[in-house]
Amino acid sequence: MAGNYGGNSIPTTPIGGEELFAGRTTEFRNYECKTIVSTAATSNFTLNGSVFSINAVGATLDLAVPARTLTSTPVGVYFLCYECSGCDVDGYTGTTAPSAVYSGHSAMNKPTIIGGGGLNN
């Protein structure tokens, strides 16, 4: 399985910025947004502490934005999103233990991780 891990890969659900921010840890925790649309001449949103501005009504920005990463209330934007059941932050640690067992491969085809103590990013 690849891609969005269980979600509808076409982000068709429009969600207002204030609504998305308010529900980022509850109702929209597992939502992924792919397009941001400006509804004001000066609009912005903050993602993991970085401010993004869109300064034209109707302008769009294509950017992967997990709802849970919004860090302040967006101003003058709405997001096009979809629910993604396997995209939550608790689903993946990014670390593979050195003792991980890889099935379905002969010894010759087992992946070898060099360095990083098993951290696969």
Look at residue 26 and tell me if it is in a domain: yes
User: Is 38:114 a contact under the CB 8 Å cutoff?
Assistant: no
Q: Which two tokens stand for residue 71?
A: 């860090």
25: containing domain: 13-88
What is the bridge-based pairing of β-strands 60-66 and 50-54?
unpaired
- 42 CB-near residues (< 8 Å, 6+ apart): 53, 55, 75, 76
**Per-residue pLDDT reduced to its tens digit, 18-71:** 999 999 999 998 888 989 999 999 999 999 999 999 999 999 999 989 999 999
Please give the tally of structural domains in the chain.
1
Look at residue 1 and tell me if it is in a domain: no
The reported pTM is 0.65
